[in-house]
């Protein structure tokens, strides 16, 4: 007897194609479930709604006389950017440095964010700057927020940054005085002082945001945002022990990098925890463990710099196979190494982004990564419906990845309920008693908003901090026509001795403290060069034009990618992200090398002789 032959066998290639198509269709469907017509307007400004955002829960504001003096350098912002600028200036023996900070102490994001479970998800020995200079060895592979905050204080103490600092003070204007060749700095405490140089380090995630949920103000229970954790209500500390939550039903809105860290802690201490999720995060393996000096090889001079550079090379795709070992060895470097292994030829011949074969291989790798992440959810979470709702269906780079070994197991507890809000595009409405999703009311005593921050609304490019340069020229007015102008992102013509730290026209990395440190070194070098030559830090328009051309040549071609992504702040809540050139066209490694070489040979391009 002859067995019937299968006429159209499905080859492995065909099966892979079918699977890829199914995944793409699912991604589109999941995106559609979440896109809202009001896009970014779905959020409301927190300051106007909740007075406590304007207050500092950690430090009482001390009354003081307004300051009216002259300093060499004023630094706006006392987070890692400002602290590193101060430290690098001190290393160059620049005289008086004054840091002005809104919070009651140094630390920036680590000052404000003290929620339970807070950690930095980048290896502590590459995230914490100036480890060798301060002689500090991180205690854990991923540093808790309090350890990071204390390290910020340690750096500030080591480099005498407290001496001149103004805390609980916001800079309200910067005005260049051509006659005096200095900046006039005013603040909300009535200060009016002068500074030869101003460095702005105002951060990006400084303004907490709340969703514009109908009825939010009618909620009669207790409510706060993760960046202003109310330990007066919950009791305990960032390490837990929130006895105030005993017998209480708590809700948390938001499952981004913050929510992931807070949920396991709330689950332990609340009587019941409702996790209101709209889009599940990718939750990779964490592997938290204690660190020792021996683990880090910290007896060798240069160990910290070597480790930090190694991490940057790996995550920037700049590691040389066989030469650069992986010193950090975690989920960040593993995914970078995987990409390197599968796509080396594309990287080497420079035919990356935009190349069809590259995009196909990249998509296949992405699908495999996401399948692993989804499989991890079903391996850990016992209830099938909960596991299914916790699976992320979008490409890996659509949202910031998160890592935790405690988040997913929390959903196996009897006192934790996941409430999926995707179909109602988030929480439907709030009542006096609680939260309504798909017509069901969840009564809670307290509701925590882990809903993130408005990106790009602080600092000088948002207009919140008005800057007036030469001849009364307003910074935003000057940039209104053609967009921001700069040389390397730091200095701009018409605004002498104003140095900007941040991501404008600059390179970026997941390890942003490293980026800030390189910027601080560069800013200090510019100040030294200007002092040595009796010049002002102010590039010519030609130098700015040349830099604008460099940036434009490497403009990203990611618009299509973001258009297909699930909504979030990466793609303006689904509206998309245009391919406009905003940053350095290459990797952070290349940018740092370029800046170092430029400082040796061409730093005069950033200087002008004073017009007096």
If binding is defined by CB under 6 A, does position 250 make contact with ligand NDP?
A: no
Cβ contacts of 11 within 8 Å, gap of 6 or more: none
Contact 303, 132 (CB under 8 A): yes
Count of residues engaged in binding ligand NDP, rule: CB under 6 A: 28
Residue (136 or 332) nearer to ligand NDP, CB: 332
If binding is defined by CB under 6 A, does position 120 make contact with ligand NDP?
A: yes
Residue (120 or 475) nearer to ligand NDP, CB: 120
Distance separating alpha carbons of residues 446 and 29, to the nearest angstrom: 33
Token pair of 383 as six digits: 């209830």
| Options 78, 256, 284, 459; binder of ligand NDP; rule CB under 6 A | 256
If binding is defined by CB under 6 A, does position 421 make contact with ligand NDP?
A: yes
If binding is defined by CB under 6 A, does position 117 make contact with ligand NDP?
A: no
Residue (100 or 515) nearer to ligand NDP, CB: 515
In the complex, the smallest distance separating the C-beta of residue 609 from ligand NDP, rounded to whole angstroms, is 42
What SS3 state is found at 183?
strand
| Options 77, 104, 452, 459; binder of ligand NDP; rule CB under 6 A | 452
Residue (328 or 606) nearer to ligand NDP, CB: 328
If binding is defined by CB under 6 A, does position 278 make contact with ligand NDP?
A: yes
If binding is defined by CB under 6 A, does position 496 make contact with ligand NDP?
A: no
Distance separating alpha carbons of residues 473 and 134, to the nearest angstrom: 42
Distance separating alpha carbons of residues 191 and 100, to the nearest angstrom: 11
Cβ contacts of 374 within 8 Å, gap of 6 or more: 391, 392, 393
In the complex, the smallest distance separating the C-beta of residue 612 from ligand NDP, rounded to whole angstroms, is 45
Q: 108 — alpha (psi -120 to 50), left (phi > 0) or beta?
A: left
How buried is 179 (Cβ within 10 angstroms: 0-12 exposed, 13-18 middle, 19+ buried)? exposed
If binding is defined by CB under 6 A, does position 251 make contact with ligand NDP?
A: no
Q: 40 — alpha (psi -120 to 50), left (phi > 0) or beta?
A: alpha
In the complex, the smallest distance separating the C-beta of residue 464 from ligand NDP, rounded to whole angstroms, is 19
Q: DSSP per residue over 188-217, as a string?
A: TTS-EEEEEEEEE---SS-EEEEE--TTGG
If binding is defined by CB under 6 A, does position 259 make contact with ligand NDP?
A: yes
In Å, how far are 178, 468, 485 from 477, measured between CA atoms? Answer: 19, 10, 12
Question: Which helix (H) or strand (E) element contains residue 27?
Answer: helix 12-34
In the complex, the smallest distance separating the C-beta of residue 392 from ligand NDP, rounded to whole angstroms, is 10
If binding is defined by CB under 6 A, does position 328 make contact with ligand NDP?
A: no
| Options 164, 223, 451, 458; binder of ligand NDP; rule CB under 6 A | 451
Stretch that binds ligand NDP, among 78-86, 158-166, 447-455, 462-470 (CB under 6 A): 447-455
Residue (196 or 506) nearer to ligand NDP, CB: 506
Token pair of 507 as six digits: 């390179």
Stretch that binds ligand NDP, among 97-105, 157-165, 448-456, 489-497 (CB under 6 A): 448-456
Overall residue count recorded for the chain in this entry: 612
Handedness of CA 522, 528, 533, 539 (dihedral sign): positive
Residues 192-211 that bind ligand NDP (CB under 6 A): 205, 211
| Options 426, 459, 502, 574; binder of ligand NDP; rule CB under 6 A | 426
Residue (279 or 458) nearer to ligand NDP, CB: 279
In Å, how far are 179, 251, 462, 467, 501 from 182, measured between CA atoms? Answer: 8, 51, 23, 13, 19
If binding is defined by CB under 6 A, does position 213 make contact with ligand NDP?
A: yes
User: What mask, x for binding ligand NDP by CB under 6 A, covers residues 564 to 593?
Assistant: ----xx------------------------
Residue (104 or 426) nearer to ligand NDP, CB: 426
If binding is defined by CB under 6 A, does position 104 make contact with ligand NDP?
A: no
Distance separating alpha carbons of residues 82 and 85, to the nearest angstrom: 5
- Which residues, in sequence order, are bridge partners of residue 498? 198
If binding is defined by CB under 6 A, does position 427 make contact with ligand NDP?
A: yes
If binding is defined by CB under 6 A, does position 141 make contact with ligand NDP?
A: no
Taking the CB of residue 69, how many other CB atoms lie within 10 A of it?
A: 12
If binding is defined by CB under 6 A, does position 253 make contact with ligand NDP?
A: yes
Binding site residues, ligand NDP, CB under 6 A: 34, 119-122, 205, 211, 213, 253-259, 276, 278-279, 400, 421, 426-427, 450-453, 568-569
């Amino acid at each position: 007897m002859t067995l019937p032959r299968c006429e159209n066998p499905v080859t492995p290639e065909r099966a892979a194609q079918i699977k890829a198509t199914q995944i793409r269709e699912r991604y589109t469907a999941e995106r559609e479930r979440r896109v809202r017509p009001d896009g970014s307007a779905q959020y409301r400004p927190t300051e106007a709604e909740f007075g406590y955002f304007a207050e500092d829960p950690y430090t009482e504001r001390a009354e003081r006389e307004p300051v009216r003096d002259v300093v060499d350098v004023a630094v706006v912002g006392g987070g890692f950017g400002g602290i590193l600028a101060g430290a690098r200036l001190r290393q160059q023996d620049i005289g008086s440095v004054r840091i002005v900070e809104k919070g009651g102490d140094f630390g920036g994001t680590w000052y404000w964010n003290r929620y339970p479970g807070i950690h930095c998800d980048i290896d502590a020995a590459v995230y914490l700057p100036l480890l060798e200079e301060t002689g500090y060895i991180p205690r854990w592979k991923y540093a808790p927020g309090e350890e990071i905050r204390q390290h910020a204080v340690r750096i500030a103490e080591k480099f005498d940054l407290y001496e001149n600092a103004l805390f609980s003070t916001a800079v309200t204007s910067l005005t260049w005085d051509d006659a005096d060749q200095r900046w006039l700095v005013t603040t909300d405490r009535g200060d009016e002082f002068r500074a030869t140089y101003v460095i702005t380090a105002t951060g990006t995630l400084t303004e907490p945001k709340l969703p514009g949920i109908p009825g939010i103000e009618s909620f009669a229970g207790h409510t706060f945002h993760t960046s202003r954790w109310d330990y007066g209500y919950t009791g305990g500390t960032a390490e837990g022990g929130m006895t105030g939550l005993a017998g209480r039903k708590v809700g948390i809105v938001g499952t981004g990098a913050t929510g992931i860290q807070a949920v396991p802690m709330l689950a332990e201490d609340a009587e019941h925890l409702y996790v209101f999720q709209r889009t599940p995060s990718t939750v990779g393996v964490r592997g938290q463990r204690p660190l020792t000096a021996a683990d880090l090889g910290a007896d060798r001079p240069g160990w910290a710099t070597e480790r930090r550079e190694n991490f940057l090379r790996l995550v920037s795709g700049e590691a040389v196979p066989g030469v650069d070992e992986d010193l950090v060895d975690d989920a960040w470097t593993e995914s970078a190494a995987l990409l390197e292994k599968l796509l080396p030829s594309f990287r080497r011949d420079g035919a990356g982004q935009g190349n069809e074969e590259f995009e196909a291989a990249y998509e296949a790798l992405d699908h495999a990564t996401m399948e692993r992440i989804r499989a991890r959810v079903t391996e850990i979470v016992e209830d099938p419906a909960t596991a299914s709702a916790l699976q992320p269906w979008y490409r890996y780079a659509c949202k910031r990845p998160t890592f935790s070994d405690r988040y997913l197991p929390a959903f196996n507890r009897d006192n934790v309920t996941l409430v999926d809000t995707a179909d109602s595009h988030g929480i439907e409405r709030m009542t006096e008693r609680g939260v309504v999703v798909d017509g069901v009311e969840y009564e809670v005593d307290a509701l925590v908003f882990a809903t993130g921050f408005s990106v790009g609304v602080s600092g000088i490019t948002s207009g919140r901090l008005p800057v007036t340069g030469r001849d009364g020229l307003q910074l935003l007015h000057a940039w209104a026509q053609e967009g921001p102008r700069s040389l390397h992102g730091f200095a701009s013509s018409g605004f002498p001795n104003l140095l900007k730290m941040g991501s404008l026209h600059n390179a970026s990395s997941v390890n942003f403290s490293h980026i800030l440190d390189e910027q601080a070194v560069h800013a200090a070098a510019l100040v030294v060069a200007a002092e040595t030559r009796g010049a002002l830090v102010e590039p010519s328009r030609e130098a700015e034009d040349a830099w604008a051309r460099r940036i434009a040549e490497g403009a990203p071609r990611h618009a299509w990618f973001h258009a297909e992504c699930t909504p979030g702040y990466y793609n303006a809540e689904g509206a998309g992200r245009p391919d406009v050139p905003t940053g350095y066209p290459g990797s952070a490694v290349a940018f740092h090398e370029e800046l170092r070489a430029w400082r040796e040979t061409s730093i005069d391009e950033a200087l002008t002789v004073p017009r007096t």
